[in-house]
């Protein structure tokens, strides 16, 4: 048992955190490479993005498939981005008319989002494009 | 760790380009450049107060999770397909 895992279990035993928080912390410290082929939490292996569109009268299609493990690794990597970089990105996004605060995106919340991807199906239909996002 | 990258490019009026790139061979051939990139990355981490080893581990995990990715983009008769195995 590594030190981080032991520290979390000690905090749980001492009542400093509840079982849900302990589970989240244990999830956050477990290495991505121990995840099995089919993602253990979502039961799904891939996230699929399909966009069908028409541009200048020509049909186009974007079909992207990424492993859920890649999203998980990306979320963990994003936690390492320094706050000053996020603030600069916020300022640039605000200049472009997108008032979005990246500092409010917490790795734990993103992790939860990835965990529940199997329940998410996004479908956007318009006259020019159709977008579908789902896990498989 | 990715083993093979497959790239296919179709353009009207051009021959279809198909490339199968063994990642290990590419890494060996590009090792001097990759070493410079690693040094540059470490310096950047130190400049921006990022944890060097955590960042390297995170990038390693990200690259390790790439196999299974597939990107297919079509526009009319032009198409690009990238598969990472």
Q: What does the H/E/C string look like for B6-49? A: EEEEECCCCCCEEEEEEHHHHHHHCHHHHHHHHHHHHHHHHHCC
Question: Could you tell me if A49 and A62 are in contact, meaning their C-beta atoms sit under 8 angstroms apart?
Answer: yes
Q: Which two tokens stand for residue B62?
A: 């990200």
Report residue B84 CA to chain centroid gap. Answer: 9
Chain A nearest-CA residue for B60: A73
Contact list in B for residue A32 (CB cut-off 8 A) is 61, 64-65
Name the maximum alpha-carbon separation found in chain A.
65
Residue at token pair 């992207």: A64
Question: CA A98, A102, A105, A107 torsion: positive or negative?
Answer: positive
Q: For residue A63, which phi and psi values (nearest 5 degrees)?
A: -130, 105
Query: Are B72 and A63 within 8 A, CB to CB?
Result: yes
Contact list in B for residue A62 (CB cut-off 8 A) is 72-74
Chain A nearest-CA residue for B49: A82
pLDDT at A30 (0 to 100): 63
Contact list in A for residue B52 (CB cut-off 8 A) is none
Minimum mean pLDDT among A22-31, A108-117, B24-33, B55-64: which range? Answer: A22-31
- State yes or no: pLDDT of B11 exceeds 80: yes
Q: Which two tokens stand for residue A75?
A: 């979320």
pLDDT at A28 (0 to 100): 66
Q: Which of A32, A63, A81 sits opposite B65 (nearest CB)?
A: A32
Q: What is the DSSP letter of A32?
A: G
Mean per-residue pLDDT, A23-51: 66
Collect all residues from A whose CB is shorter than 8 A from any CB in B.
31-33, 45-46, 55, 58-67, 69-70, 72-74, 76-77, 80-82, 84-85
Q: Which two tokens stand for residue A117?
A: 């991807």
Mean per-residue pLDDT, B16-38: 94
Q: Across-strand partners of A64?
A: A49, B71
pLDDT at A119 (0 to 100): 72
Q: Which residues have CB under 8 Å from A55's CB, separation 6+?
A: B75
Query: Are A65 and B70 within 8 A, CB to CB?
Result: yes
Distance of CA A13 to CAs A7, A10, A17, A19, B47, Å? 10, 5, 8, 10, 40
- State yes or no: pLDDT of A32 exceeds 50: no
Q: How far is the C-alpha of A126 from the C-alpha of A61, rounded, in Å?
A: 15
pLDDT at A34 (0 to 100): 45
- pLDDT grade for B19, boundaries at 50, 70 and 90: very high
Query: Are A67 and B72 within 8 A, CB to CB?
Result: no
Residue at token pair 């009268």: A57
Query: Are A65 and B68 within 8 A, CB to CB?
Result: yes
Minimum mean pLDDT among A10-24, A65-79, B32-46: which range? Answer: A10-24
Residue ranges covered by each domain of chain A: 1-30, 33-75+104-135
Query: Are B61 and A67 within 8 A, CB to CB?
Result: no
């Amino acid at each position: 048992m590594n030190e981080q895992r032991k520290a979390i279990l000690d905090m749980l035993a001492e009542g400093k955190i509840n079982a849900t928080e302990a589970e989240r912390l244990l999830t956050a410290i477990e290495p991505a490479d121990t995840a099995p082929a089919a993602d253990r939490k979502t039961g799904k292996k891939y996230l699929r993005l399909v966009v069908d569109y028409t541009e200048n009268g020509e049909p186009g299609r974007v079909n992207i498939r990424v492993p859920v493990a890649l999203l998980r690794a990306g979320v963990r990597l994003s936690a390492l981005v320094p706050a000053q970089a996020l603030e600069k990105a916020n300022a640039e996004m605000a200049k472009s008319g997108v008032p979005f605060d990246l500092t409010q995106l917490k790795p734990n919340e993103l992790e939860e989002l990835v965990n529940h991807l199997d329940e998410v199906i996004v479908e956007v239909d318009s006259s020019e494009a159709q977008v579908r996002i789902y896990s498989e | 760790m990715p083993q093979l990258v497959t790239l296919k490019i179709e353009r009207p009026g051009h021959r279809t380009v198909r490339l199968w790139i063994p990642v290990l061979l590419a890494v060996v051939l590009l090792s001097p450049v990759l070493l410079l990139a690693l040094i540059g990355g470490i310096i950047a981490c130190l400049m921006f107060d990022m944890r060097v080893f955590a960042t390297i581990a995170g990038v390693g995990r990200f690259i390790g999770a790439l196999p299974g990715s597939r990107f297919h983009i079509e526009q009319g008769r032009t198409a690009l397909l990238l598969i990472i195995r």
